[in-house]
Amino acid sequence: MTSIGPVNALYPMPATLVGANVNGKPNFLAVAHVGILNHGTPQYLSIGLAKIHYTNKGILENKSFSICLPSEDLMVETDYCGIMTGKKTDKAALFDVFYGDLKTAPMIRQCPVSMELKLHDVLDFKTHDIFIGELAETYADDGVLTDGAVDMAKLRPLLFDRSFRDRGNACL
């Protein structure tokens, strides 16, 4: 057995599109650092967002956000949402946006699965805000369901793996 240092060995992670209304308008960014905090009901999920991102302000303003799962068909759009900032670009224009029960968490009709979450807590890390959300509702296309459950083989998620980049200690 070889010690390789404090390396996060959990990659790959599914790339998601996180949505929030910022200044009254929907914005989306790509997020791979999503955590499952428990199982059961209520269910809590976390997202780790660098403090410089535009979306953080909107999550705090509305106390809600979404986590949408793009399929591989949305690779270009997901990449775009992961390199452009809503400070300068209307990224929501790429999508057909809809709202669910919470009314303030924008979701993407082109994503086969979207979850809306109520903000539960924020952990104030030095470089990142860790937003913890309580899952309020999940919306799924029938085409990605098997026996009523989301079937990842049908969804064909995009996977994100930065383990090679981490050798240079880069920080998202």
Ligand X SMILES: Cc1cc2nc3c(=O)[nH]c(=O)nc-3n(C[C@H](O)[C@H](O)[C@H](O)COP(=O)(O)O)c2cc1C
Residues that bind ligand X (CB under 6 A): 15, 27, 29-33, 48-50, 53-55, 79, 82-87, 160, 172
Cα–Cα distance list, 133 to 43, 72, 76 (Å): 8, 25, 27
CB 113 within 8 A of CB 138: yes
Q: Which of 156, 17, 160 is nearest to 92 (CA)?
A: 17
**Beta carbon of residue 142, minimum distance to ligand X (angstroms, whole number):** 27
Nearer to ligand X by Cβ, of 47 and 102: the residue is 47
Within 10 angstroms of residue 16's Cβ, the number of other Cβ atoms is 29
**Beta carbon of residue 67, minimum distance to ligand X (angstroms, whole number):** 11
Nearer to ligand X by Cβ, of 52 and 143: the residue is 52
**Beta carbon of residue 85, minimum distance to ligand X (angstroms, whole number):** 3
Neighbouring-strand partners of residue 48: 130
Tokens 């026996």 -> residue: 147
Nearer to ligand X by Cβ, of 53 and 118: the residue is 53
Nearer to ligand X by Cβ, of 125 and 146: the residue is 125
Where helices occur in 46-151 by DSSP H, the ranges are 55-62, 75-83
**Beta carbon of residue 120, minimum distance to ligand X (angstroms, whole number):** 18
